[in-house]
Amino acid sequence: MSTVDHTWSDPRSRATEYRARSGSALDTIGNTPLVPMTRLTADTGVTILLKLEYFNPTGSYKDRMALAMVEQAERRGEITPGSTTIVEYTGGSTGSSLSFVCAVKGYRLLIVTSDAFSEEKIRTMTSMGAEVVIEPSVGGKITPDLMPRIIDRTRKLAEQPGTYWTDQFNNPDNALGQQTMGQEILAQTEGRVAAFVASVGTAGCAMGVATVLKAHDRAIEVHVVEPDTSAVISGGPAGTHGIEGIALGFVPPLLDRELVDDVIVVDEADARAMANRLATEEGIFAGTSTGANVVAALRLAAARPDLGTIVVPAVDSGLKYISTDLYPKPSLTIGN
């Protein structure tokens, strides 16, 4: 893969260097709100800010990286609308984001995913024109062998003529796209950030944001989050869990430990409970990985009350999980 420039620009530029275009729906990616938690932090005395990435057009922070991976490949002359078929594997949100970008730009998109991921994500992909191949899971869970099987199937599809594999786990353009989030955080906080806390799937978000924050101030801490049943970054074995989009059974190649200050391991049940509390107590309707991020941030705040402002990405919308058991089903009462 070609070498790309990983430098960052002044946050006031909105990192639009690689996003020049005449105007389209793609311009709605980024510039998401940064809001404080209030009720859940009332007893801590610590400011925790949530970056509401579900304000992106497909309801996910993955829109940033999908745009970067496609447009950087265009810049290098590796793909052309109408003649290139883009191929990718995904836990759902990357596929939705690529479907959006490819629909706007006119690329055919072939996605490999699994029934371990929510129906909403898969139907979003097909609704925007993607062709989807389903790799079956075991009991609807993310098992250690699932992602290797998905990747192997994708690799074979990418051998076909006229295809381009964006390969999100190994593509530095992934992290490049997420640098825009870091630049927005610096602008929105006027540079006053003590820590960034984020769960890890591809590690593109954590590394992209970390690159920007630590270039601004090396003292800013970056804490990555993973579930206790598959804590591979912490040195544990790969295991089974149900938090979509993170902890896929191996240490992601994009993870740079030089940019990581600590790894926080959380219980999946706590993450799910926190997602529900965010909805009912803060009005933040997000997925389980966001719940995991907030559990970790609150734990960090409790351990170090003088740390300063903590920023956490609310990575996607709870609307992506309505068909799952994350949120309670409605109990209907028929009145007289």
Distance of CA 221 to CAs 125, 174, 260, 315, Å?
A: 35, 21, 7, 19
pLDDT in tens, 268-319: 899 999 999 999 999 999 988 899 999 999 999 999 999 999 999 999 888 8
Residue 235 has pLDDT above 60, yes or no: yes
The CATH class that applies to domain 25-55+172-320 reads alpha beta
User: Pick the residue with more confidence: 54 or 11?
Assistant: 54
List, in order, residues 6 or more apart from 3 with CB less than 8 Å away: none
Q: What value does the mean pLDDT take over residues 5-24? A: 46
Q: Give the residue range(s) of CATH 3.40.50.1100 domains in the chain.
A: 25-55+172-320, 61-165
pTM for the model: 0.88
CA distance 271 to 287: 9
Residue 328 amino acid letter: P
List, by residue number, the catalytic residues.
62, 289
The CATH class that applies to domain 61-165 reads alpha beta
Q: What value does the mean pLDDT take over residues 170-187? A: 98
**Max Cα distance, the chain (Å):** 68
Residue 241 has pLDDT above 90, yes or no: no
pLDDT in tens, 193-219: 999 999 999 999 999 999 999 999 999
User: For the chain, how are helix, strand and coil distributed in percent, rounded to 5?
Assistant: 40, 15, 45
For residue 271, the surrounding DSSP H or E stretch is: helix 268-277
The band of 22, judged by pLDDT with boundaries at 50, 70 and 90, is low
